[in-house]
Structure 1
Amino acid sequence: MATNEVVECIRPLLARFSENEEVVRRLVTTDGTFDALCHQYRRVTDLLKIYETEPDQEAEIERLKKRRAGLEEELLTRIEGYQPQ
């Protein structure tokens, strides 16, 4: 994955967990599951921004917020459990 792709993939995650930037950058390049979760987090975050501008999308916004919270929890668990090798 090119550097720009990595940065774009993890930009929303770094905005949320900026204190863990080094670990996030390392995990996204070495852990395929973490990378996939980052991509999902970015998609959900992008969709949420779109739906928040649309009228009558409260149900979808709530669903996306719950999904984002679940992804944040899973990502943070992986970040906190990271052990350098």
Structure 2
Amino acid sequence: METNEIVECIRPLLTRFSEDEEVVRRLVATDGTFDALCHQYRRVTDLLKVYKAEADQEAEIKWLEKRRAGLEEELLTRIEGYQPQ
């Protein structure tokens, strides 16, 4: 994955967890599960933007916000538990 592609993938996550940017970048590069979670987080964040722009999408927005919160919790657990090797 190219550097620009990585940055685009994790941009929403870096916005949310800016104080942990170095750890996020290292985990994306070395942990496939973390990278997959980042992709899911970006997709959910992008979908939320689309649904919020449309009318009558309250149920979808509520589900996506709940999903995003769950992903944030899992990602933060991994960020906080990261031990450099």
Aligned to 2:56, what secondary structure does the other structure show? coil
Pairwise CA distance, 1:35: 0.1
Task: Return the offset for 1:81.
Answer: 0.1
2:27 is matched with which residue?
27
Q: Residue 18 of structure 1: CA displacement?
A: 0.1
Aligned-residue Cα RMSD (Å) equals: 0.2
2:7 counterpart residue number? 7
Report the secondary structure of 2:72's partner residue: helix
Q: Corresponding residue for 2:83?
A: 83
Report the Cα offset of residue 48 of structure 1.
0.1
1:55 equivalent in structure 2: 55
Structure 1 runs of 4+ aligned residues shifted over 4 Å read none
Q: Matches of 2:28 and 2:9 in 1, distance apart? A: 9
Residue correspondences, number: 85
Mapped to 2, the partners of 1:75 and 1:81 lie a distance apart of 10
| Residue 3 of structure 1: how far off its partner (Å) | 0.1
Structure 1 unaligned regions, length at least 5? none
